Amino acid sequence: MDWYLRARENIHKRDLREFAVDGTRFVTRRTIARVLVSLLTEVDTNPDQEFRYGSTSSTTIDSGSGELPDPYRERTGTYENPPTYVREFENVRLVGTYALGVTGPKSVITETAGGNIHLFWPTLSGMIKKDGLRDTFKALLDQIEPTQEYDYAVSLASFNVENYYHWVIEHLPQLRGVEHYTAQEGVSPVLILPQNPPNWMIESLAVCGYDKDDWVEWTGEPTQVNHLIVPEHPFRSMEIYFPPAIENCRWLRDRTTSNVDTKVLDNINVSPYLYISREDANSRRVLNRDEILAELRPLGFQSYVLSDLSFRQQVALFSQAEIIVAPHGAGATNMVFATGAVFVELIHSGNTRGAHYFLLAQECGHEYIGILCEPVETDMKMNIGDLIDIPIFN
């Protein structure tokens, strides 16, 4: 239960940060959202069809090597991985900013609210902020008449979808379920993306084999979907337990790397030894980066700012990686495109709640090494001795 209590503490810390930005309106929205979740939402667990695919397996997450914070260590152990599913719900209405799937008064499809019941209230809080309390209330009671209609559709416009990590690790693998449904039923549903999707999102779909004729942008208008196709959402959160998803990682690596030509790297200094810089970020920057690179460059390392690279270039770069050194952050997501690499995570010792990349490294079959770094407010400094003591750098 220690991880659960720590999770609650982390949620409260995040709430305080948002409160500092948005004040009492934030508290009001969150309070109302929690009330709506408890009084006006029930999970619809009765799809009209369900198809299972994949295999049953078990996964052991070990402690890796190096320094491992307690929240990471608590995620070690053996996990059971059941087959995944894709469901079909008939006569669904998509409503609100995040295209929440409603099948009747108070009846909500979990996967359209971020993939987990615990994300209902932040989803609703966002809807209240952007859509207003009245429309959110009416949406939950299924009292909004649709203004457009799709026969077969998949909603990929939920909460957190525009976060690179969540998109790549949670949403792109949902295409695997979409394709299984198409193979079974012979129907290709349209993909509904968030409004004004970022370029990397569109490019990632193209790399996975989907062009502009396969998707539409969510407009926020209430929409009737006669057949909503709902792949399992491999939900990830730093606060809530989630099991490994090895088959999804393997599928994503194989699909993307097979569709990207390494020629996209022709104008880039390429090395199998990557140092991922966060110099363009506003937190978790490594302040003594130059000192670190002075040690790493003689070993053949190249430093990369991933925002300078296209999605295709990132896939190609990481697909040939042997060692990846990176501060905790979304750029480390790209390790999913590598095979049998070593991942060295630089961890801000004042913020150790997110075991995402510790777990992802092992799901991908990589060797994991953790290094705790000295916090300097929201940034950090690494002890060079901790780096050169690692056998792979000797």
From residue 151, alpha-carbon distances to 28, 91, 154, 187, 236 in Å are: 37, 9, 10, 10, 30
| Domain made up of 260-393: CATH architecture | 3-Layer(aba) Sandwich (3.40)
Query: Could you please report the per-residue DSSP string of 266-305?
Result: TTS---SEEEE--TTSSSS-BTTHHHHHHHHGGGT-EEE-
User: What is the predicted pLDDT for the residue at 142?
Assistant: 79
Are the C-beta atoms of residues 238 and 356 closer than 8 Å to each other?
A: yes
Lowest mean pLDDT among 7-21, 22-36, 324-338: 7-21
- pLDDT top residue among 252 and 24: 252
Model pTM score: 0.88
Mean pLDDT of the region 148-164:
93
* One-letter amino acid for residue 369 of the chain: I
CA neighbor of 218 nearest in space, from 167, 169, 147: 147
pLDDT grade, residue 10 (50/70/90)? very low
Q: Determine phi and psi for 151, rounding to 5 degrees.
A: -80, -55
Instruction: Using the structure block, give the residue that is written with the tokens 């079959």.
Output: 365
User: What is the predicted pLDDT for the residue at 224?
Assistant: 97
What's the rounded Cα separation, in Å, for the pair 241 and 235?
9
| HSE of 127, CA atoms in CB hemisphere, 13 A | 36
Mean pLDDT of the region 337-361:
90
What are the sequence ranges of the domains in the chain?
2-65+83-240, 260-393
pLDDT digits (tens, 9 = 90+) for 260-274: 999 999 999 999 999
pLDDT digits (tens, 9 = 90+) for 215-259: 999 999 999 999 999 999 876 665 555 667 889 999 999 999 999
Angle between helices 2-40 and 133-140 (to 10 degrees): 80
Average pLDDT along the chain: 86
pLDDT grade, residue 12 (50/70/90)? very low
The helix/strand/coil state of 205 is: helix
- pLDDT top residue among 46 and 159: 46
What percentage of the chain reaches a pLDDT higher than 90? 57
Lowest mean pLDDT among 119-128, 141-150, 361-370: 119-128
What's the rounded Cα separation, in Å, for the pair 166 and 160?
7
pLDDT digits (tens, 9 = 90+) for 54-93: 988 888 889 888 888 888 888 889 988 889 999 999 999 9
pLDDT digits (tens, 9 = 90+) for 367-391: 999 999 999 999 999 999 898 888 8
pLDDT digits (tens, 9 = 90+) for 93-114: 999 999 999 998 878 898 888 7
- pLDDT top residue among 197 and 30: 197
pLDDT grade, residue 5 (50/70/90)? very low
- Quick check: 362 pLDDT over 80? yes
User: What is the predicted pLDDT for the residue at 237?
Assistant: 60
Mean pLDDT of the region 134-140:
80
What's the rounded Cα separation, in Å, for the pair 133 and 128?
5
pLDDT grade, residue 1 (50/70/90)? very low
Are the C-beta atoms of residues 208 and 336 closer than 8 Å to each other?
A: no
Lowest mean pLDDT among 46-55, 75-84, 181-190, 207-216: 75-84
User: What is the predicted pLDDT for the residue at 2?
Assistant: 41
